[in-house]
């Protein structure tokens, strides 16, 4: 089954060229099926690139997905055309006021890691989003800073500044092979990392109700399950394209920003060579497993989402 996107959204043509099945509103309306409604709260500056990355992953399953793009109500991006934002995004306050519910919500990262959570201009609204998910979203996936912010809000787990940026592709161990979210995963996997902060294993383990699923000796926990809040938190970037780390590295070099070559990314750590993508298959597994879990547990009557927190499987 395809992912439903507006035909004039850039991701529609990008994914179509890649062989991902996409359909527009008219084609979707002819199918007698309830698609899974997945929201993307996009906090990244390069909105279109991020849309493509997540749409590619959630659109690769056999299920029909309806993607809804959401932005913070008052925050205005300077990196994406206003026409694009006006055409495809709805402010969160409008979504909340409509009373609509979502089967899933992805909350992206944001390049504001050095700031304290309370200093972020849209922090109050973002915490309303977190609380809203408990009554209006069946499953939430917080990514990088978005995941750190959500786990801090619900559990008080702190983020800590690193002495040097964690930048590159790092090996992570599968601590929970029985987890449905890691179905098909190897005993270890490689994940792109690009962050100045971390959340520490001991502090996560000390918080009630959290379970670390993927962990690294070098860069710490990567994937955490929070069943009580129907949430997953991933602190690294399965969704990255093959050249995303290269683009970040080249940007910093061009701007004269002190930066190290991303580790384990280029063959021989030589930035003159073509980078290697060693995470794509696990990225599709993770997001495909998340979509499958939503499908198996979300109520068919979407109005029932948030009425209770019991697992609806079976």
Kindly report the three-state secondary structure assignment for every residue of 243-282: CHHHHHHHHHHHHCCCCCCCECCCHHHCCCCCCCCCCHHH
> Given pLDDT bands bounded at 50, 70 and 90, which one contains residue 311?
very low
Q: Is 198 a known active-site residue? A: no
**Active-site residue, selected from the candidate residues 66, 225, 239, 293:** 239
State the average pLDDT over residues 169-180: 97
The per-residue pLDDT for range 72-81, each reduced to its tens digit, is: 998 777 767 7
212-250 burial, b if ≥16 CB within 10 A, otherwise e? Answer: bbbbbeebbbbbbbbeebbbbbbbbbbbbbeebbbebbe
- Tell the residue number behind the tokens 């930048």, with chain if given: 167
Tell me if residue 189 is catalytic: no
Q: What is the pLDDT of residues 9-31, one digit of tens each?
A: 887 787 677 766 665 666 555 44
Whole-model pTM over 0.75: yes
Write down the mean pLDDT value for the chain. 91
Helix 145-155 with 123-136: angle, nearest 10 deg: 80
Q: 220-226 and 160-174: which strand pairing?
A: unpaired
Q: What is the CATH number of domain 3-160+197-241+287-304?
A: 3.40.50.880
Q: What single string gives the DSSP state of each residue in 157-214?
A: PPPEEEEEEEEEEEEEEES-TTSGGGTT--SEEEEEEEEEEE--HHHHHHSTT-EEEE
Q: Say yes or no to pLDDT of 313 above 50.
A: no
Catalytic position from the list 138, 153, 229, 237: 237
160 among known catalytic residues: no
What are the domain boundaries of the chain?
A: 3-160+197-241+287-304
Q: What's the pLDDT tens digit per position in 288-302? A: 999 999 999 999 999
- Residue 203, pLDDT > 60, answer yes
| Tens-place pLDDT, residues 105-150 | 999 999 999 999 999 999 999 999 999 999 999 999 999 999 999 9
- What pLDDT score was predicted for residue 24? 61
Say how far apart CA 146 and CA 232 lie, in whole Å.
Answer: 11
CA 154, CA 157: separation in Å to the nearest integer? Answer: 8
Residue 310: pLDDT over 70:
no
Give the pLDDT confidence score for residue 113 in this predicted structure.
Answer: 92
Q: Please tell me the number of Cα atoms within 13 Å of 124 on its side-chain side.
A: 3
Catalytic residue chosen out of the listed positions 144, 169, 172, 293: 144
pLDDT level of residue 153 (50, 70, 90 thresholds) = very high
The mean pLDDT value for 219-236 works out to: 98
């Amino acid at each position: 089954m395809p992912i439903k996107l507006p035909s004039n959204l850039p991701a529609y043509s990008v994914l179509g060229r890649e062989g991902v099945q996409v359909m527009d509103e008219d084609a979707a309306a002819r199918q007698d099926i309830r698609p899974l409604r997945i929201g993307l709260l996009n906090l990244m500056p390069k909105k279109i690139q991020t849309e493509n990355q997540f749409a590619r992953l959630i659109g690769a399953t056999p299920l029909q997905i309806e993607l809804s793009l959401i932005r913070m109500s008052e925050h205005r991006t300077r990196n994406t055309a206003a026409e694009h934002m006006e055409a495809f995004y709805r402010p969160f306050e409008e979504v909340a006021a409509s009373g609509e519910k979502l089967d899933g919500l992805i909350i992206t990262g944001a390049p504001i890691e050095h700031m304290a959570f309370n200093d972020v201009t849209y922090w109050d609204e973002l915490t309303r989003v977190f609380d809203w998910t408990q009554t209006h979203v069946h499953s939430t996936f917080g990514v990088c800073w978005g995941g750190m912010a959500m786990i801090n809000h619900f559990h008080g787990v702190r983020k800590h500044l690193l002495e040097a940026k964690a930048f590159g592709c790092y090996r992570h161990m599968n601590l929970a092979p029985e987890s449905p979210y890691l179905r098909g995963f190897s005993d270890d996997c490689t994940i792109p990392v690009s962050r100045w902060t971390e959340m520490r294993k001991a502090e996560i383990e000390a918080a009630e109700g959290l379970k670390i699923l993927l962990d690294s000796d070098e860069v710490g926990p990567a994937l955490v399950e929070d069943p009580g809040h129907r949430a997953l938190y991933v602190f690294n970037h399965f969704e990255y394209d093959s050249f995303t780390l290269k683009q970040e590295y080249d940007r910093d070099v061009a701007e004269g920003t002190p930066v190290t070559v991303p580790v384990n990314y280029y063959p021989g750590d030589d930035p003159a060579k073509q980078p290697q993508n060693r995470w794509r298959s696990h990225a599709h597994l993770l997001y495909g497993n998340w979509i499958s879990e939503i499908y198996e547990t979300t109520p068919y009557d979407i109005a029932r989402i948030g009425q209770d927190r019991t697992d609806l499987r079976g």
